[in-house]
Amino acid sequence: MKTTCPYCGVGCGLVADVRDGRLVAVRGDTDHPVNRGATCRKPTRLPEAVHAPDRATTPLRRASLDERWRPASWRAAISDVAKALQRYKPDEIAFYISGQLLTEDYYAVNKLAKGFLGTNNLDSNSRLCMSSAVAGYTGALGSDGPPPSYADVEEADVLFLLGSNAASCHPIVWNRIRSRGAFLIVADPRVTPTAEHAALHLPVRPGTDLPLLNAMLHVLERDGLLDKRFLERHTRGAEDALTVAADWSPARAAEVCGVPAEDIVEAARRFGASKRSMALWSMGANQSAVGTLKNRALINLCLASGNIGRPGAGPFSLTGQPNAMGGRETGGLSTLLPGYRSVSNAEDRAWMGRFWNSPGIAPEPGLAATELVEALEDGRVKVLWIVATNPVVSQPDAGRFAAAVRRAELVICQDAYFPTETGALAHMILPAAQWPEKDGTMTNSERRVSLVQRALDPPGDALPDWDIFARVGRALGHREAFPWRTAAAVHAEYVQTTEGRLCDQSGISHTRLRREGPLQWPCPSPDHPGTERLYTSRRFATEDGRARLAPTPHTAPADPVSPDFPLTLTTGRVAQQWHTMTRTGKSPSLLSAEPHPFVEVHPDDAEGLPEKVRVRSRRGSAVLRLRVSEKVPRGVVFAPFHWGALHLEAGEGALNNVTSRAIDPVSKQPELKACAVRLEPVPVV
């Protein structure tokens, strides 16, 4: 059966082969326009994860963390949840959801939380992943949504990747990047598998991207490479952005960011001289206390050189999770409502309130996922409903997050697996169907909506997430608001909220996707072919139709190095693992590629250290295998974050015990790419 990959935001089409009620193989869909039959290794090992022995199969409950779990029927579990929710004030309830959810799941939980429970405390793990891109696009272009398509990376002459190790993290897009042979500029502190293929590698020091980007803008102006006609007709704010950039000569930027001045000049000239230049980025730009400014600086470069709304051009954030985009469109962050509406906008609230026939939507933005710790610690949040994510491993300063979760009066964990590190802190487990046991849709990085199809029954009593939310809504007395019996019905309701918006999907239905294959929004009518590229008319989604450049001043990383903590840790991924290993960790062959957590250290910094080291920061520590490598510069260490307690040996600790809670003031995204650490030897026993 044709379906869509549940891992990264590339959104490849897959074929799930099912025999006798079991998934036996997964292969690439040759008809899918994203991957044309190719896949990376991760989805091919999905049968091991889908049929793993630790699938959650029945609701479980317990009164306290010390008690044994008792199984419950769905009727009893739903009734318990509904009664518990009614005991608390709306703002005492928080939802922590996931970019792994399907669009239908996202829509249903948003309607339940924001429309009928009256809490905007609904945030996604996309807060850790893409919220800086949301803020960047919205500020610069007037709306969220990446303008280009993957087809553009094959038409570009110059590709500038910043903070993106696409070769490991977005392998199929990487294949397409390499297919045409564009001039590849990669800004990354490490010699990543991506940087190894760069024509020009800019080894920027962690936390100093803004000096680099400002210096590139400086060179565009200095060397006459600004598209002045485009700037005058279609933008505002260029003067302020250029005033800040004027202070960043390549020589001055080189001193701060460590990239030779002549390489900065070459990168800027290459980018600015072509009308087919693209800026691509991912977590290295987003996961920063200045993530929004980095997004604005990358978009500045595209606007300043007129590289937007044309083939082979534009700013393009590569989404981490498979449906982070669908989550944004359905209002899956604490500031948003469906159809890219805002909870702070009275007109948007009124429209959604009428559409939902809801008792009222709260006007204040809810808590971001990165603000939950304090709210749990001081008792503002008493009920935490966690869905398809494992924040005890993935949150920054994870030890403090786990301690805060223990203070909640009720923790509901809705997941396809049990136990997980987060489920261990729950009072209720709600078993969820997962890919490929439910129908729905996902939107990938290029705004392409693809169908996910149910190819087999979920194990035991597990239910689709949207169905669990709908049952709770009905148990709360809102039968007319949650009438759906199929995912297609949820989708049909959702797309009405997008009508007339930039993300218009009112021409898309499950039936059409099944018949025609995936479609890119905006797609406003059933006969519309979808939209490959945004802003081709050069009219942007701002009120006056003009894009905005922004000044992007530099500030030093929030967690600075010191004599006690002299090294900068930057975190990331390995190619064969995904997030906190809840699925990829079930596959022996994927595990064997990288069986242990490790830290990459330059030979000069590794001198005298044994094979295991404790990475210690101002917050906590983790024990990792030492990997000596010249691929990291002196003073910088790199470690992947995947391993949690279920995959660690005694005493090792998850990497995120070390990372910093500093967040971007606009996007509230945490700074996971620059934290000060030291390495301590761990004696071999």
Peptide bond into 458 cis (omega under 30): no
Neighbours of 64 (CB within 10 A): 6
As a dihedral over the C-alpha atoms of residue 27, residue 317, residue 655, residue 125, rounded to 10 degrees, the angle is -80
Amino acid at 75: R
Q: How far is the CB of 543 from ligand SF4 (least distance, A)?
A: 36
Q: How far is the CB of 180 from ligand SF4 (least distance, A)?
A: 18
Q: CA-CA distance, 103 to 492, in Å (whole number)?
A: 11
C-beta of 331 vs 572, nearer to ligand SF4: 572
Q: How far is the CB of 323 from ligand SF4 (least distance, A)?
A: 11
C-beta of 39 vs 582, nearer to ligand SF4: 39
C-beta of 14 vs 217, nearer to ligand SF4: 14
Structure tokens at 239: 């003067």
Structure tokens at 597: 């957590």
Q: CA-CA distance, 579 to 587, in Å (whole number)?
A: 14
Q: CA-CA distance, 17 to 23, in Å (whole number)?
A: 6
C-beta of 356 vs 578, nearer to ligand SF4: 578
Three-class SS of residue 316? strand
C-beta of 42 vs 619, nearer to ligand SF4: 42
Three-class SS of residue 14? strand
Structure tokens at 22: 């079991």
Query: In terms of Cα–Cα distance, which of 342, 321, 339, 319 is closest to 329?
Result: 339
Q: How far is the CB of 596 from ligand SF4 (least distance, A)?
A: 22
Q: CA-CA distance, 40 to 252, in Å (whole number)?
A: 41
Q: CA-CA distance, 393 to 395, in Å (whole number)?
A: 6
Q: How far is the CB of 287 from ligand SF4 (least distance, A)?
A: 19
Q: How far is the CB of 28 from ligand SF4 (least distance, A)?
A: 7
Whether 683 and 385 have beta carbons less than 8 Å apart is answered as no
CA 588 to chain centre: 26
C-beta of 445 vs 506, nearer to ligand SF4: 445
Q: How far is the CB of 157 from ligand SF4 (least distance, A)?
A: 24
Longest dimension (CA), the chain: 71
Q: CA-CA distance, 260 to 249, in Å (whole number)?
A: 12
Residues forming the site for ligand SF4 (CB under 6 A): 5, 7-8, 10-12, 35, 39-40, 42-43, 170-172
C-beta of 40 vs 204, nearer to ligand SF4: 40
Q: How far is the CB of 221 from ligand SF4 (least distance, A)?
A: 38
C-beta of 183 vs 435, nearer to ligand SF4: 435
C-beta of 10 vs 204, nearer to ligand SF4: 10
C-beta of 35 vs 288, nearer to ligand SF4: 35
Q: CA-CA distance, 1 to 438, in Å (whole number)?
A: 12
Q: CA-CA distance, 35 to 29, in Å (whole number)?
A: 7
Query: In terms of Cα–Cα distance, which of 446, 476, 197 is closest to 324?
Result: 446
Whether 213 and 281 have beta carbons less than 8 Å apart is answered as no
Q: If you ran DSSP here, which 8-state letter would residue 482 be given?
A: S
Q: How far is the CB of 390 from ligand SF4 (least distance, A)?
A: 18
Q: CA-CA distance, 31 to 238, in Å (whole number)?
A: 43
Q: CA-CA distance, 475 to 472, in Å (whole number)?
A: 5
C-beta of 168 vs 571, nearer to ligand SF4: 168
C-beta of 7 vs 137, nearer to ligand SF4: 7
Q: CA-CA distance, 282 to 121, in Å (whole number)?
A: 26
Q: CA-CA distance, 195 to 626, in Å (whole number)?
A: 22
The helix (H) or strand (E) run that includes residue 599 is: strand 598-601
Query: In terms of Cα–Cα distance, which of 283, 307, 310 is closest to 151?
Result: 310
Neighbours of 431 (CB within 10 A): 25
C-beta of 174 vs 643, nearer to ligand SF4: 174
684's CB contacts (< 8 A; 6+ apart) are 610, 611, 612
C-beta of 8 vs 343, nearer to ligand SF4: 8
Q: How far is the CB of 39 from ligand SF4 (least distance, A)?
A: 4
Pairing outcome for strands 383-387 and 93-97: parallel
C-beta of 300 vs 445, nearer to ligand SF4: 445
452's CB contacts (< 8 A; 6+ apart) are 3, 4, 6, 102, 435, 436, 438, 439, 440, 441, 442
Peptide bond into 391 cis (omega under 30): no
Q: How far is the CB of 173 from ligand SF4 (least distance, A)?
A: 7
C-beta of 37 vs 551, nearer to ligand SF4: 37
Pairing outcome for strands 183-187 and 158-162: parallel
Residue 233 exposed, middle or buried by CB count within 10 Å (0-12, 13-18, 19+): exposed
CA separation (Å) from 372 to 91, 385, 661? Answer: 12, 12, 11
3-state secondary structure 247-261: CCCHHHHHHHHCCCH
On the CB side of 242, how many CA atoms lie within 13 Å of its CA?
A: 16
C-beta of 172 vs 198, nearer to ligand SF4: 172
